[in-house]
Amino acid sequence: MGLRVRRRFRAWINRRIPPSRVTTLNQRRIFIFPSKAGLFYALCMLVMLLAAINFQNNLSYGLTFLLFTLFIVAILHTYANLSGLTIRAVHARPAFPGQRSEFELQLERSRRGEHVGLRLQWPGGSPVSASLVDSDSLRLQMHLQVGQQRGWYSPGRLLIESSYPLGLLRCWSWIDLDLHALVYPRPLASAELPGLAAETPDGAAVLIEGSDDFFGFRDYRQGDSLRQIYWKGLARGQNVQVKQYVAYADRSVWLDWEMFTGLGTEQRLSHLCYWVLQFDAQGDEYGMRLPGVTIAPDCGERHRESVLRALALHGTGEPSP
């Protein structure tokens, strides 16, 4: 029964406040109800009203109605404190499983006035207080621990509330900012990568037939191509020599899905993620080959994020770089 009620409430709130990157609070999106202090205040007014009726005391009537009027005014001011406030999703920082991600929001005040004593909180996160008094907008950085699964992490609906000015009423809203943090695979250390040649140093010359970089001459060997023979030297009476061409090795490597045959999908992704971080820390160029995705060798922060994004979204159906 409780699960059914929660599902129906979730469906209702999704219809009433649909997901959006920018949300402006209005009458449809704001809820208001007396706080604990407000309920006690209302109970005291009821007792005072019963006492005034019982004793027919005009002074008691006047005080009761004055306090009731104050309660009505507090309702209007509490509602106005949230009404017109705009919350804009800015950015969510990627993170590894179990780490804290940073969700950046921007608050923009309405033309009608200020917004004081605001309290914002993700489910399971720490509350953040804010006020819009002297400025028209405010950037907030809110931190929340992401889940253990790679891919997109949704923090849920953001609670924004206020009990300004008297604390007798609580005004709140649950908004879905459609803001998601990318969760990378969990790095998992492994032995040396198979298929990587470590014997050739960076910048060493490697003989490659057909290259355009001339290197020198060597004596003719049986089977050498006639095109490589140095005919001018032969015409001068020199021994038969052959031209040599070279290419120069670099530190670019390829991280390939097939390097970890026999392992499951998540283990492969975790091992590849580990080596991405290792090569990035060393400043080496590296590329990535995944089923359906190829990223050319490069280095730097943007390249690292592009590769980690491809690992995080592998098999999820989401577009990758």
Q: Tell me the pLDDT tens digit for each residue of 273-296.
A: 999 999 999 888 899 999 888 999
User: What is the C-alpha to C-alpha distance for residues 168 and 42, in angstroms, rounded to an integer?
Assistant: 9
Beta bridge partners of 102: 143
For residue 34 the two structure tokens come to 């007396």
Alpha-helical segments (H) within the chain: 2-16, 36-55, 58-82, 231-235, 265-282, 301-312
* Residues paired with 254 in a beta bridge: 287
Give the pLDDT score at 4: 84
The pLDDT of residue 138: 92
**161 contacts: CB under 8 Å, gap ≥ 6:** 118, 119, 170, 171, 172, 173
Closest CA to 173 of 45, 284, 23, 283: 23
How far is C-alpha 69 from the geometric centre of its chain's CA atoms? 47
Residues 6 or more apart in contact with residue 144 via CB below 8 angstroms: 100, 101, 103, 122, 124, 125, 155
pLDDT digits (tens, 9 = 90+) for 107-116: 998 877 789 9
Name the packing angle between helices 36-55 and 58-82 (round to 10°): 160
Say which amino acid occupies 10.
Answer: R
Side chain identity at 50, as an amino acid letter? L
Written as one letter, the residue type at 89 is: A
Q: How far apart are CA 15 and CA 206, in angstroms?
A: 66
pLDDT, residue 105, reads 95
By C-alpha distance, which of 234, 252, 254 is closest to 243?
A: 234
Show the low-confidence residues of the chain (pLDDT under 70).
1, 193-218, 221-228, 230-231, 233-234, 242-252, 317-321
298: helix, strand or coil: strand
**Closest alpha carbon to 164 in 88, 73, 87, 41:** 73
**What's the CA gap between 302 and 306, in Å, rounded?**
6
Q: Which amino acid is at 265?
A: T
Do 171 and 163 contact (CB within 8 A), yes or no? Answer: yes
DSSP annotation of 239 reads P
The closest of 148, 101, 151, 105 to 320, measured between CA atoms, is 151
Give the count of beta carbons closer than 10 Å to the beta carbon of residue 116. 13
Q: From 85, 155, 150, 94, select the one nearest 126 (Cα to Cα).
A: 155
Q: Cβ(130)–Cβ(138) under 8 Å? A: yes
Query: What pTM was computed for the model?
Result: 0.74
pLDDT at 210: 44
The structural domains of the chain, with segments of one domain joined by +, span 2-183, 185-202+251-321, 205-248
Q: For residues 96 and 187, give the distance between their C-alpha atoms in angstroms, rounded to a whole number.
A: 8
Query: How many residues belong to the chain?
Result: 321
Greatest pairwise CA separation for the chain in angstroms: 137
CA distances from 22 to 91, 143, 179, 225, 265 (A): 12, 19, 10, 69, 37
